[in-house]
């Protein structure tokens, strides 16, 4: 990094450390104000969020309910910064005070097969906290992530995730690292709930009643390696973060590769939808999940 980027990086460190001294109540109050200002000023993402909610819930929510829902989403997203700052000050030995893990036996059962474990999750709750899982359960954990354009912020996020015991694998060259991790019998984590811009890199599955271009990489990896697939979700409940590890998802393998990729990806996304419906205000609705459209839909339009 150049000198300016280095200065910005250290500025981020100082800023986050300062936020970390605030109490949960104070942080949430300030986040509420910041989220409301963000919601008022950011017309683009406000529109995307409202359209996403309208698409997902249709006539179940009226206009005022959708707006209130969206505002809460913005406030929760702003509060993630304060949650992260407090979490950053927490020692690994104290993680259990703010974080609980359910279903660890599901993870151990999958790992016992000796093929490594493919874990998937979504932008639900405060997903950054999930990086602590490896140190909590004493299992090596690698995370596939998309490099950020801002070098100072990318360095900061990378270092903080790694500090919890996770190994970071950049998405554009992750395959070798993923395969090596699985060969060692370790865990690989992927977030698969965001829009895929290039149709050739994804498949279209139903998500909240509308076709969404979904990441097919997880299904391809599972089919090619035979590694078990485990869903892991994090959400806030009872004043704590909860990491819920679900049982292995049986792999659909018919011999028709294209069909198998589509069906397994559909199953993964159906489960993500189920959890988003359970904790709707904790999902990142601000992202344009349905941006990429099927070619035949575009022709009809």
**229-237 and 240-245 strand pairing:** antiparallel
Q: What is the pLDDT of residue 140?
A: 80
Instruction: Calculate the CA 10 to chain-centre distance.
Output: 26
Question: pLDDT-based confidence at 299, cuts 50/70/90?
Answer: low
User: Do residues 242 and 234 lie in contact, with contact meaning Cβ atoms separated by under 8 Å?
Assistant: yes
User: Do residues 250 and 110 lie in contact, with contact meaning Cβ atoms separated by under 8 Å?
Assistant: no
Please check the confidence at residue 301 and state whether its pLDDT lies above 80: no
Which residues is 212 bridged to in the sheet? 205
Euclidean distance between CA atoms 262 and 256, whole angstroms:
10
Euclidean distance between CA atoms 235 and 161, whole angstroms:
18
Euclidean distance between CA atoms 104 and 32, whole angstroms:
34
Over residues 222-246, the mean pLDDT reads 94
Q: For residue 68, what is the enclosing H or E element? A: helix 63-88
Euclidean distance between CA atoms 5 and 214, whole angstroms:
34
Question: pLDDT-based confidence at 130, cuts 50/70/90?
Answer: confident
Lowest mean pLDDT segment, chosen from 84-93, 100-109, 198-207, 267-276: 84-93
* Alpha helix segments (H runs only) across 95-210: 95-98, 104-111, 133-137, 151-163, 175-183
Q: What is the pLDDT of residue 213?
A: 97
186 — alpha (psi -120 to 50), left (phi > 0) or beta? beta
| Closest alpha carbon to 218 in 200, 234, 203 | 203
Instruction: Identify which of 17-26, 161-170, 235-244, 259-268 has the greatest average pLDDT.
Output: 259-268
What pTM was computed for the model? 0.92
Over residues 15-26, the mean pLDDT reads 93
Evaluated on CA atoms 221, 227, 229, 232, the torsion sign reads: negative
Q: Which residue has the higher pLDDT, 2 or 205?
A: 205
Over residues 131-150, the mean pLDDT reads 80
**240-245 and 117-121 strand pairing:** unpaired
pLDDT above 90: percentage of residues in the chain = 70
Euclidean distance between CA atoms 10 and 6, whole angstroms:
6
Query: Where are the domains positioned within the chain?
Result: 1-89, 92-300
Please check the confidence at residue 265 and state whether its pLDDT lies above 80: yes
Question: pLDDT-based confidence at 167, cuts 50/70/90?
Answer: confident
Could you tell me the strand order of the sheet in which 141-145 lies?
A: 99-102, 240-245, 229-237, 117-121, 187-191, 141-145, 166-170
Mean pLDDT of the chain: 91
Q: What is the pLDDT of residue 298?
A: 57
Please check the confidence at residue 5 and state whether its pLDDT lies above 70: yes
Give the phi and the psi of residue 98 in degrees, each rounded to 5.
Answer: -120, -5
Euclidean distance between CA atoms 172 and 90, whole angstroms:
31
**202-207 and 210-215 strand pairing:** antiparallel
Over residues 106-132, the mean pLDDT reads 91
Q: What is the tens place of the pLDDT at every residue in 266-296?
A: 999 999 999 999 999 999 999 999 999 998 7
Q: Which residue has the higher pLDDT, 176 or 265?
A: 265
Over residues 115-135, the mean pLDDT reads 88
């Amino acid at each position: 990094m150049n000198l300016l980027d280095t200065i910005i990086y250290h500025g981020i460190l100082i800023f986050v450390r300062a936020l970390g001294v605030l109490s949960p109540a104070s942080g949430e109050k300030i986040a509420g104000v910041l989220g409301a200002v963000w919601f008022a000023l950011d017309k683009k993402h406000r529109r995307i969020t409202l359209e996403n909610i309208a698409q997902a819930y249709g006539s179940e929510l009226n206009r005022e309910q959708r707006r209130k829902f969206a505002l809460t989403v913005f406030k929760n997203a702003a509060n993630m910064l304060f949650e992260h700052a407090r979490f950053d000050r927490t020692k690994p030995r104290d993680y259990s005070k703010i974080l609980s893990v359910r279903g660890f036996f599901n993870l151990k059962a999958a790992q016992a097969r000796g093929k490594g474990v493919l874990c998937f999750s979504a932008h639900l709750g405060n997903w950054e906290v999930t990086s602590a899982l490896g140190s909590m359960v004493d299992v090596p954990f690698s995370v596939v992530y998309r490099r950020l354009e801002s070098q100072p912020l990318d360095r900061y996020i990378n270092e903080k995730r790694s500090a919890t015991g996770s190994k970071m694998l950049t998405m554009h060259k992750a395959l070798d690292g993923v395969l090596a991790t699985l060969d060692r019998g370790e865990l690989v984590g992927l977030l698969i709930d965001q829009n895929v811009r290039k149709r050739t890199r994804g498949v279209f599955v139903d998500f909240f009643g509308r076709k969404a271009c979904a990441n097919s990489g997880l299904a391809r990896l599972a089919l090619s390696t035979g590694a078990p697939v485990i869903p892991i979700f994090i959400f806030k409940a009872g004043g704590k973060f909860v990491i819920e590890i679900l049982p292995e998802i049986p792999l659909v393998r018919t011999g028709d590769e294209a069909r198998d990729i589509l069906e397994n990806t559909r199953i993964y996304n159906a489960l993500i939808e189920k959890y988003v419906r359970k904790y709707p205000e904790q999902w990142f609705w601000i992202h344009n999940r349905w941006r990429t459209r099927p070619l035949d839909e575009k022709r009809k339009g």
